[in-house]
Structures are given as structure tokens and as C-alpha cells.
Amino acid sequence: MILVADSGSTKTNWIAINEKGETYFKIDTDGLNPAVFTKKTLYDRIITKEELRDIKDEVKEIYFYGAGCGTQNAVQFLKTIFEDIFTNAHIEIYEDTIAAVKSLQTDTPGVVCILGTGSNCSYFDGKETHQKIVSLGYILMDSASGNYYGKQIIKDHAYGKMPEDLAIKFEAQYDLRPDVIKENLYKRDNPNTYLANVGRFLIENKESDYAQKIIKDGLRFFVENQILQFEESKDVPIYFVGSIAHFLQDEIVEVLQEYNLTLGKIVRHPIMTLAAVHASKLTK
């Protein structure tokens, strides 16, 4: 049995593949970002999932692609958890940018961007990925991500900058009491996921002038500080992976045009392609 996983901070997509290269099951768990969650949280999120627990001794290989796996310490931290659970498995852990590149199924050079709960950017030269900036996490970075937009609108609401009609809708949809917000940000697990869930409000109301400005300002910041760090970006396609990219396709096209950049394609969920890549090796 092979397990393939694509993980962000909010959700992890899993596909189990049997010895014939066929999908045994497809499930989701909560996110498994080693840069955000404790060892106990990560362990519990895996072992409490019945489907994973039932096959843990049968799994021979694990290919995990995840947010927060950009350093060796994070990889080793997560690997020890997998080794405790899947005692018979060979384990390989990669950063989520590798999943993004593989999901594109191309050997054409391009800049590959992730816009989901968090954000990231790398350059793919046709064979290898290159990264100039190491993410410092959701508090300092993650521009144009779900948690980035959540922060923007919570602050705007608190400062009275949100248009009145949207503020009324926002207040009806979320508990915006200061104590509740601070509880979620400073005392509970998954503050970045909490912010990303709030950020959905901006996408749900993206036709408003207010939302369009925040969305495009975030995308412009991402272009200027992430995409344009690569000189090659002017000459190659710009690819995007992730749910935020999926829902903001029109805005991405418009902002890229402002910088004379060319959109490649947008992939919402890489997991099916990743599973197919690993399944194909079993059938050869």
C-alpha cells in the first residue's frame, strides 16, 4: 500500500493506492503543517482517522507534500511522527512547492505560485525548483493568501474602514467580539486557519469595490515581492496552485496583465495528479 498526501495548514488530502496501482480510498484530514502544530496535534490528526489507522501496518511507502516542510528540521520533525505510526513504511517528505510543480505535468520552465491558506513561490527550470525566499510564516509573510485576507478585513472592521453594508453582513456571519478574535489568534490552535476561514468572506463578496481593492492590492504585493524576485518571470508562464488562486482567477489575470506577466494555468487540488504519478510507478 502507498499513501500520497498533499497538505496545507487547513486540510490534508490523502489517497491510498494498492499494489495494482488502484485507488483504495481518498480521504481528508485536518492540516499537518509542522511549522504550526505541535507533535501531539499532528499525531492525533493522523491516528484518529479510522481509514489511516486501519492500514497503518500495510503501508510500505508514504509520499507527503506539505506546507511548512521547507526546512530539514521541519521534515525530520514530521518524519518521526510518521515513523511512529507507519512502522513499515519508507517515508519521503517534500515541500508543497514540489507538489505544485508535479501537479502541472509540464517540463516547461515557469514560476510556480501557491495561494491557499498560506502562500509561496518558486521557479521551476524544467527539471528542478529554485527558491530565493524562505517563508517566515503566516504572521510576517503569506501575502495574498487566505489568512492574509482574513487579517486585512478583521483590521478594517475594527478600524471602521469596511463599508457599512458589508460590515453588517460580516457581523452576522462571524463572531467579531474582541475577546473571541483574540482567543482564536492567541490561545487556540490553527490561528492561520481561523484567519483563512474569515478571509472567505472577502471572496464571497468579491464583486464589491471594497473587496476588489483588497484582493488586488494583496496580489500586487505578491507579484512584486514573490514573482518578480525571479528575473525569468518576464519570459515564462506564471502557474498557480491552491483554493485562493482558484477563486480569484479573474483578479489574477488582471493583476498579471498590469505587470506584463503571462498566466500559465491554475490547479485547485494537486492530489489526483500526485497520486497518478506514484501509481504509474507501480504498474510499470
Count of domains observed in the chain: 1
3-state secondary structure of 238: strand
CB atoms within 10 A of CB 94: 18
Domain range holding 30?
A: 2-99+270-282
Give the whole-angstrom CA distance, residue 108 versus residue 106.
5
Give the whole-angstrom CA distance, residue 251 versus residue 80.
41
Q: CATH number of the domain that 95 lies in?
A: 3.30.420.40
- Of the chain, the percentage scoring pLDDT greater than 70 comes to 99
User: Predicted confidence band at 283 (pLDDT cuts at 50, 70, 90)?
Assistant: low
What pLDDT is stored for residue 277 in this prediction? 83
User: What is this structure's pTM?
Assistant: 0.83
In a domain, 246, yes or no: no
Gyration radius of the chain's alpha carbons? 19
**Long-range contacts of residues 70-75, Cβ cutoff 8 Å, at least 24 apart:** 70/95, 70/97, 70/131, 70/134, 70/135, 71/134, 74/34, 74/35, 75/34
More confident residue, 74 or 36: 74
In a domain, 157, yes or no: no
Mean pLDDT (the chain, rounded)? 93
Give the whole-angstrom CA distance, residue 80 versus residue 77.
6
Q: Which amino acid is at 139?
A: I
∠ Cα 263 214 203 (to 5°) = 75
In degrees rounded to 5, what are phi and psi of residue 36? Answer: -115, -40
In a domain, 226, yes or no: no
What pLDDT is stored for residue 10 in this prediction? 84
Give the whole-angstrom CA distance, residue 64 versus residue 280.
17
In a domain, 38, yes or no: yes
Give the whole-angstrom CA distance, residue 246 versus residue 142.
17
What average pLDDT does this structure show over 194-212? 97
Residue range 39-63, pLDDT digits in tens: 999 999 999 999 999 999 999 999 9
What pLDDT is stored for residue 108 in this prediction? 87
In a domain, 265, yes or no: no
In a domain, 47, yes or no: yes
In a domain, 188, yes or no: no
